[in-house]
Chains A and B, each alone.
Chain A
Amino acid sequence: MALFGSLFCRLILGLVIAFLFMPILIVLTVSFSSSAVFAFPPPGFSLRWYASLGNADSMLQAVWLSTQIAALSTAISLVLGTLCAIAITRGMIPGAKAVATFMASPLMLPGLVLGIAFLQAARDFGLRDTYTTLLIAHVVITMPFIMRTVLASLSLFDFAMVDAARMLGRSYPAALWTVLVPNILPGFVSGGLFAFIASFDNYPVSIFLVDVRTKTLPIQLLNQVEMSPDPTVAAISALLILGTIVALIVCDRLVGLKRMASI
């Protein structure tokens, strides 16, 4: 009976994994199809959709914009979030627990609600520049990922090391940089990676903030899927998946996925 139960669970696990990968594999398959329609099974193999990416200007622009926004917002969150996390961990500010919850709370709000709030606020404050608005909103989106991982790393960090560095002649900022930063690097890498992905993939917040000429990749992709779905979209999606896998592997090499997953 127990054996049957465990076999049953394993079967479900196998099916679940197959199920989760289905749409991803389909996208990969279609991107190599020789046909412009999404027939299954595909009639033949070709790389023409990858070749055609070279002409997809608006798509490439969207990739570039999303990369910039994700990288900048992650970097800003890393700096602001880490400084804040240090103050929280060291009890330098009152109500540390509440502050930590506040900084991580954008993750708990529905994305669309956040997006609407940003849209309204940008209007009320007269903030017209799409790029700046997007960047500010994405710092808010990425902040919770940084807060969670960095707080977890800091809780394992011995702050006497910072004192030791100061007594050996480094100023407080230099001590943080030379001792704290290298020691919580795994937290930075995993938090940074997830923050980057969260920003790069964000749809529900960005949809309210983009304009005709400034579109992030998810918006541009969805437009294309709705308007004129063709395997070019599949090709760019396949490259995105590839990029994600490469990023995960690089991070694994840097700090070890085990260490990342445990943080």
Chain B
Amino acid sequence: MSQHATATPPATETHQEPSYLAVSNVTKRFGAATVLDTLSLSVGRAEFVSLLGPSGCGKTTLLRLIAGLLAPDQGAIEVGGRDLTRVAAHKRNIGVVFQNYALFPHLTVAENIAYGLRAKGVPKAEQARKVENALGLVRMEAFADRAVTALSGGQQQRIAVARAVVVEPSLLLLDEPFSALDRKLRETMQIELRHILRNLGITSIFVTHDQDEALVMSDRIAVMNEGRIEHLGTPSEVYARPKSLYTMEFVGQSSRITGVVKGSSESLVEIDTPFGMIRAPGHFLTGSKVVVGVRPEAIAAGEGPAGEYNTVRGTVAEVIYFGSRTLLHFQTAQEGDRLHVELNRLPDTVEPGSAMTLRWRVDDSRVFPAPTEAAR
């Protein structure tokens, strides 16, 4: 398992290095439904990329296409410069951790891990050594001769990971590996798995519909929507500078206010909203209907310097107390609008009905074209 030992820290914001996994213009249809629509994705060596999206958006389908368990209708898939589009699944040397692990119940833990080594004709003695290493990697040495059906969910997952990485795959695919675990266990397993895979330096594609999981674990996140990738970027890019309203709303909490562009100066636009004029970075034609998005924690109470800040007044509709922080929902005039504010410390007398002044940096505002009526 030393194949990736020389892995460099993953490339993040800038990735000049040639892509290791290249999915180019892949389309997949099931009958009349187009599940993946000319989708492209490139991933660098030793990178850990999450596919994040709601259930049914095509994440598993993309994973199965990369694995070779499905064939694309169009497009190509390359790993390490080798075109795999027409290569059979069992010759791709790609590891997969399945959603419910798909361990073999008729084999013991050690036999499960040795399965791929046997298939590849690795000599017996070497098999035993590698199985032992793999068990050590996931800290399951004591369980080698157990039946897999006797293991807990977390233990089964470790075995599934060990079984997939022991054959030193060129790429590891994980399909919602934590969905069967309870919350507490999930959090420890996330950190542990990330650690193991980083040490192995193995290129991984990780599917999840849980945004927190994606933010915590990934080098980069591909936000998927209806068979397309909406945004591919580092967790902080995706969170702080989402490229689309969809990404902004799917990843994390957000406030959104609809308005009409009144004018622009340099790289700023001025937007007329029910809360008054709001400025935001961007280029839109005067008269366009747009949506302004702001993260709740970017908003603070009170006025700020007029040049750098947007300042609005609002009436509190609801107060939601989380202990370390408090979430305020404000009344809005238009359907679909939300003004949510997250404060660490609450001014003394806030209750539903209180009027408050709020501010946020112009740079923290994001503007997107308003969705058309049909798309809403």
* Residue ranges of A at the interface with B (Cβ–Cβ < 8 Å): 158, 160-161, 163-172, 174-175, 178-179, 182-183
Contact = CB atoms under 8 A, between A and B. Distances in A.
B115 A161 contact: no
Given A170-B90, A179-B104, A165 B99 contact: no
Contacts of A170: 90, 119
A167 B94 contact: yes
Contacts of A175: 90
B104 A161 contact: yes
B167 A169 contact: yes
A168 B67 CA distance: 11
A38 B91 CA distance: 70
B96 interface: yes
Contact of B119 (A161, A169, A182, A183): A169
A191 to B, nearest CB: 18
B102 A164 contact: yes
B89 interface: yes
A183 B90 contact: no
Nearest to B105: A183
Contacts of A174: 90, 119
A192 to B, nearest CB: 18
Contact of A167 (B90, B99, B104, B120): B90
Contact of A160 (B88, B100, B106): B100
Tell which of B98, B102, B163 has the most Cβ of chain A within 10 Å.
Answer: B102
A167 B104 CA distance: 13
7 contacts: A160-B99, A163-B96, A167-B67, A167-B95, A174-B119, A175-B90, A183-B105
Given A167-B164, A169-B90, A183-B106, 19 more contacts: A160-B98, A160-B99, A161-B102, A163-B89, A164-B96, A164-B104, A164-B163, A165-B115, A167-B69, A167-B89, A167-B90, A167-B92, A168-B90, A168-B115, A169-B116, A169-B167, A170-B119, A175-B90, A178-B115
Interface in B231-269: none
Contacts of B93: 169
A160 B105 CA distance: 12
Contacts of A160: 98-100, 102
A169 B100 CA distance: 20
B159 to A, nearest CB: 12
Given A158-B100, A171-B90, A166 B69 contact: yes
A171 B89 CA distance: 8
A168 B167 contact: yes
Contacts of A165: 104, 115, 119
A94 to B, nearest CB: 12
Interface of B: 67, 69, 88-96, 98-100, 102-106, 115-116, 119-120, 163-164, 167
Interface of A is mostly: helix
A129 B91 CA distance: 46
B90 A166 contact: yes
A170 B68 CA distance: 13
A179 B120 CA distance: 16
A183 B167 CA distance: 23
A65 to B, nearest CB: 36
A163 B69 contact: yes
Contacts of B116: 168-169
A167 B119 contact: no
A172 B103 CA distance: 17
A161 B94 CA distance: 15
A169 B120 CA distance: 6
A158 B106 CA distance: 13
Contacts of A161: 102-104
A166 B89 CA distance: 6
9 cross-chain pairs, A with B, having the tightest CB-CB distances, nearest first:
A168-B116, A169-B119, A160-B102, A164-B102, A182-B106, A167-B96, A166-B89, A161-B102, A166-B90
B119 A163 contact: no
B97 to A, nearest CB: 9
B162 to A, nearest CB: 12
Contacts of B88: 171
Nearest to A179: B104
Contacts of A163: 67, 69, 89, 96, 98, 102
A69 to B, nearest CB: 32
Contacts of A167: 67, 69, 89-90, 92, 94-96, 164
A76 B95 CA distance: 36
Tell which of A169, A172, A179, A182 has the most Cβ of chain B within 10 Å.
Answer: A169
Contacts of B67: 163, 167
Given A161-B104, A183-B105, A168 B99 contact: no
Contacts of B115: 165, 168, 178
B102 A168 contact: no
